Structure 1
Amino acid sequence: MSYMHLICQFWAHRFPCWGVCQLHFDPEQKTLYFYCQTPTGRTAISKDADAIANLDIGIEQFVVVLQGYPDIVIQKRCPLI
């Protein structure tokens, strides 16, 4: 099982109401891009921004992309010491 397949399965299980999105992972920047097909999917992802920011899965930032809309960037939260 590839890393991307594992990530796709995780997202589908953890956030099933997002709808259809294409994923692209940039390993050098540790960034996962969600390419949404509808504004509804973009809205659903933005509602889960806090949960996404708290994930500890080796991804530093998440970028939600929908053509014609500004990108939403969700940064991983640093743990407080």
Structure 2
Amino acid sequence: MRIVNANRLQIHALAYNIFNWFRRLVLSANMRKQRIDTVLLKLLKIAAKIIRSARYMTFKLRSSCPNKDEFYKTLFNISKLCIQLE
């Protein structure tokens, strides 16, 4: 039982660190102070239609989406990240 609890603690710590990395590098200044569940609700639980073409992927959000600007700012910040794979 101790090994299971230790593994669970490590997974939670890893998830917490990944979210903090996401918060610092990608989220806008007014979203950085939000709790994890609030960020999930505002950015990830959005109904969108994804349209794929040969070159592009387009997200079509509802015109009444209250967090549309935050969503697009976050996507823009993700696209600016320079990821180096070794």
| Structure holding more helix per residue | 2
Highest CA radius of gyration, 1 or 2?
Answer: 2
TM over 0.5: no
Whichever structure has more strand as a proportion of its residues is 1
TM-score, normalised to structure 2, is 0.32
